[in-house]
Amino acid sequence: MLNNDAGSHDSESTRDSSTRKPSASVYLIFAALIVVVVVVCVWWFAYQRPHNKAVSDFNAATVSVQAKNTELDIALARIGKLTKSNSEPLDSQTLLNAKHSITAAKRQERSIGKIPSKTADIGARTIELGRPLNYDAAIADLDKHRTALDTSLRQMKQVTNPTADFVVSHLKGVPNVENPSPVTMTHDPNGNLNKPRSYVAAIYFASPEVDHSVFDTADVIDNGTDGGGQIEVYKTAADVQKRNTYLSAFDGGGMMDSGSHVVLGTMLIRTSRYLNADQQAALTAAIRSALIRL
């Protein structure tokens, strides 16, 4: 009888255990999980996803700007190399113009900067970066001034201590310049060839605009500058400037007048005192143009 009661009791205990409801802690854990999921979803869709898209759009915008900036930087590097050289241009204005074009181009270059931390700021910056950007005009301006500066630098190199042969070859074909003749150690009226701080080459020429009946000889070198003109070549700019200053003391001095004289590089272009002012200016300009021709 006792054994039957014990079996009945165990059976009832089993039924009670199988139908017992979950405890409160289980509900709390389940609710917490739901809250976490909701928070994560809200965080993802309301913040992280928009932020990621903003970052992606920003990066895409920077790629386009960087590509255009690279084109401009290449043009800046090309002209910058010339402006930073130690060489002097024939026309100093070309160097100033080149530097001004660099400054103007750099002002136009769009800065990317660091990506902002806030999503709204990233979006605003992306809109700024996405504005139309075209450096064609700036690059064209840089290239124009680079070409001008490069030409001027090469011209200056060409007219700095050139050989007599160079001068003679460039004088041929110049209007009103005839028979360019370089002096030699044995045929130099002034006897200053290759002396310290003196000319290293001197090329006389005749001009049909000069009345040669006033001369006793037909020799171009013996007739000197009066017969048409002369190109004096010096080693340094200081030497040619010293010579030009010396000749200036005789300007308008009647029989002592040495004619016109203009410095070009380390050369002195001289024309006959028998030419009038207009003829001197025209002849000097024609010779200068010939000597700087590349």
Whether 179 is in a domain gets the answer yes
Strand, helix or coil at 181?
Answer: strand
Q: Which two tokens stand for residue 180?
A: 């360019």
Using one digit for the tens of pLDDT, what is the confidence trace for 61-99? 899 999 999 999 999 999 999 999 999 999 999 999 999
- Residue 16: per-residue pLDDT: 53
Residues 285 and 170 in one domain: yes
Q: How many residues does the chain have?
A: 294
- Residue 47: per-residue pLDDT: 65
- Residue 285: per-residue pLDDT: 98
Residues 173 and 268 in one domain: yes
Residues 231 and 148 in one domain: no
Residues 33 and 121 in one domain: yes
Q: Which of 157, 183, 213 is the last residue of a domain?
A: 157
Residue segments in the chain with a per-residue pLDDT below the cut of 70: 1-21, 27, 30, 36-47, 253-255
* DSSP 8-state assignment for residue 196: T
Query: Total structural domains in the chain?
Result: 2
- Residue 1: per-residue pLDDT: 41
- Residue 20: per-residue pLDDT: 65
Q: Which of 157, 187, 202 is the last residue of a domain?
A: 157
Q: What is the SS3 assignment for 16-75?
A: HHHCCCCCHHHHHHHHHHHHHHHHHHHHHHHHHHHHHHHHHHHHHHHHHHHHHHHHHHHH
Q: Which two tokens stand for residue 248?
A: 């200036």
Whether 1 is in a domain gets the answer no
Q: Which domain holds residue 100?
A: 28-157
- Residue 29: per-residue pLDDT: 80
Strand order in the sheet with 267-271: 178-182, 201-206, 228-233, 267-271, 260-264
**CA angle, 162 as apex, 80 and 182 as ends, to 5°?**
165
* DSSP 8-state assignment for residue 186: S
- Residue 34: per-residue pLDDT: 77
Whether 15 is in a domain gets the answer no
- Residue 258: per-residue pLDDT: 87
Q: Which of 136, 157, 178 is the last residue of a domain?
A: 157
The alpha carbon of 157 is separated from its chain's Cα centroid by a whole number of angstroms, namely 19
